[in-house]
């Protein structure tokens, strides 16, 4: 098992490339199941979650070649069953359900396992497919789906990202018109809809609360460029701010992170969109600001832990309220080990900034918590050791190398 060792106190200066989006890559890979022609996606990140999705698709008989430029060929799918041994490793595996029933009329997908940051049930996915006429049964820990989807009105109780993606993909091959109401609006949804449209789908309204899909008989292959990862972008923005650095994030799109950018500006961090990316700089100690997580276009829950790391050394007191996941403050005890002053009050964390955190050994509990601990270590005096960084590798492409290229004293080593 690896750990990351950070010697704090170095300002980050320079340029770094933002990787392709994890949260866009996974559904786009499963979209290959919708066609018997090759789908090529360029700019794929080298991540554990991408490798897990690749393994799952190969279990179904999808031929996959390449890495950065990945070609997926689902012309000879040999199975429509996604087994427990693969699905348990990543909740996003449920995204094969919609494409499989849309193209083949049947699927058997293991129920996803638990999640450290809170309950993420798939009942909205299943209710949506039932609205489209798909027969859904739960048998021995599996979702068994029968019948090709029909056009229908699907109304979500909550704007679920995964549910919107599953129903959107199922609707592309459904007979008739599907209207998805209270749809998730994330940029990754828009990117998936644009890819599906490039494959021949007829979609309107992606990025709004109502998406309309007119089903077609078949989809064809496509060549596609993956969008940049907005959460990695936000994490690297935080790294620049927390070290009072000056960094150009090449390929980053500030427009995908408007709520985050506004909070950075409120904290006194300079965010300057440029033709080739976004420049982030911070001269003084940041100011404390309050925030509340919310579905897009609100402040993303996936950036809460990282922004909290910045607030631990801000001037004043901030209140950070988590509305999406009930267990997403597990990084708080570890930040306290670094000298942070944080008090949990229900679903809010009251953070009183300290001038200089101190290094310590800490343990990562989930993907974004891992990033927050690395960020805090960049600003702390002395040495910070972050253990169990396998979480980090699910969503960040060797982030320690990117930080080192900007001047951080950081390394990965075996326990």
Q: Which residues are catalytic, by number?
A: 115
Q: How many CB atoms lie within 10 A of CB 104?
A: 14
Task: Let me know if 120 is exposed, middle or buried by CB neighbors in 10 A (0-12, 13-18, 19+).
Answer: middle
Kindly list the distances between the CA atom of residue 238 and the CA atoms of 33, 244, 289, 304, 317, in Å, as whole numbers in the listed order: 37, 10, 14, 11, 18
Cα–Cα distance measured from residue 305 to residue 233, given in angstroms and rounded to the nearest whole number: 14
The size of the chain, in residues, is 415
Cα–Cα distance measured from residue 90 to residue 119, given in angstroms and rounded to the nearest whole number: 14
Query: Which two three-digit tokens encode residue 248?
Result: 């150009």
Cα–Cα distance measured from residue 168 to residue 196, given in angstroms and rounded to the nearest whole number: 9
Cα–Cα distance measured from residue 379 to residue 339, given in angstroms and rounded to the nearest whole number: 12
Closest listed residue to residue 280, CA positions, set 267, 292, 271: 271
Cα–Cα distance measured from residue 366 to residue 344, given in angstroms and rounded to the nearest whole number: 19
> How crowded is the C-beta side of 129, counted as CA atoms within 13 Å?
33
Instruction: Show the DSSP H helices in 32-148 as ranges.
Output: 48-59, 84-87, 97-104, 123-131
Ramachandran region, residue 147 (left: φ > 0; alpha: ψ -120 to 50; beta: rest): left
The three-state secondary structure class of 88 is: coil
Query: Which two three-digit tokens encode residue 211?
Result: 């998406």
Kindly list the distances between the CA atom of residue 104 and the CA atoms of 87, 138, 233, 248, 348, in Å, as whole numbers in the listed order: 20, 19, 38, 46, 46
CA–chain centroid gap for 215, Å, is: 28
Cα–Cα distance measured from residue 243 to residue 380, given in angstroms and rounded to the nearest whole number: 9
């Amino acid at each position: 098992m690896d750990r990351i060792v950070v010697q704090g106190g170095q300002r980050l200066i320079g340029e770094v490339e933002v990787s392709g989006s994890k949260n866009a890559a996974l559904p786009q890979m499963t979209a290959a199941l919708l066609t018997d022609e090759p789908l090529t996606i360029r700019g794929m990140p080298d991540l554990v979650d991408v490798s897990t999705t690749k393994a799952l698709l190969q279990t179904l008989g999808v031929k996959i070649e390449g890495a950065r430029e990945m070609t997926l060929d689902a012309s000879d799918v040999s199975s429509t069953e996604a087994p427990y041994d693969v699905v348990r490793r990543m909740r996003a595996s449920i995204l094969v359900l919609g494409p499989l029933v849309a193209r083949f009329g049947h699927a058997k997908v293991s129920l996803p396992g638990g999640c450290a940051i809170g309950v993420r049930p798939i009942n909205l996915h299943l209710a949506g497919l039932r609205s489209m006429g798909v027969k859904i049964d739960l048998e021995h820990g599996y979702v068994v789906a029968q019948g090709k989807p029909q056009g229908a009105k699907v109304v979500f109780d909550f704007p679920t990202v995964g549910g919107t993606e599953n129903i959107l993909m199922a609707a592309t091959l459904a007979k008739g018109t599907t209207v998805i109401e209270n749809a998730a609006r994330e940029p990754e949804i828009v990117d998936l809809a644009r890819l599906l449209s490039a494959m021949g789908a007829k979609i309107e309204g992606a990025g709004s609360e109502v998406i309309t899909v007119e089903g077609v008989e078949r989809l064809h292959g496509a060549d596609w460029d993956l969008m940049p990862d907005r959460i990695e972008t936000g994490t690297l923005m935080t790294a620049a701010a927390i070290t009072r650095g000056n960094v150009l994030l090449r390929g980053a799109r500030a427009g995908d992170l408007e709520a985050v950018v506004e909070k950075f500006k409120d904290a006194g961090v300079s965010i300057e969109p440029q033709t080739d990316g976004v420049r982030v700089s911070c001269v003084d100690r940041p100011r404390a600001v309050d925030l509340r997580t919310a579905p897009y276009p609100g402040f993303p829950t996936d950036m809460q832990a990282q922004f909290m790391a910045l607030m631990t050394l801000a001037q004043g007191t901030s209140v950070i309220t988590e509305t999406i996941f009930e267990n997403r403050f597990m990084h708080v005890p570890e930040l306290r080990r670094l000298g942070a002053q944080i008090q949990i009050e229900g679903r809010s964390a009251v953070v009183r900034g300290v001038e200089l955190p101190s290094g310590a050994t800490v343990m990562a509990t989930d993907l974004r918590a891992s990033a927050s601990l690395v960020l805090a270590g960049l600003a702390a005096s002395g040495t910070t050791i972050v253990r169990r960084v396998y979480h980090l590798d699910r969503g960040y492409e060797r982030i320690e190398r990117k930080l080192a290229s900007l001047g951080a004293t950081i390394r990965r080593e075996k326990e």
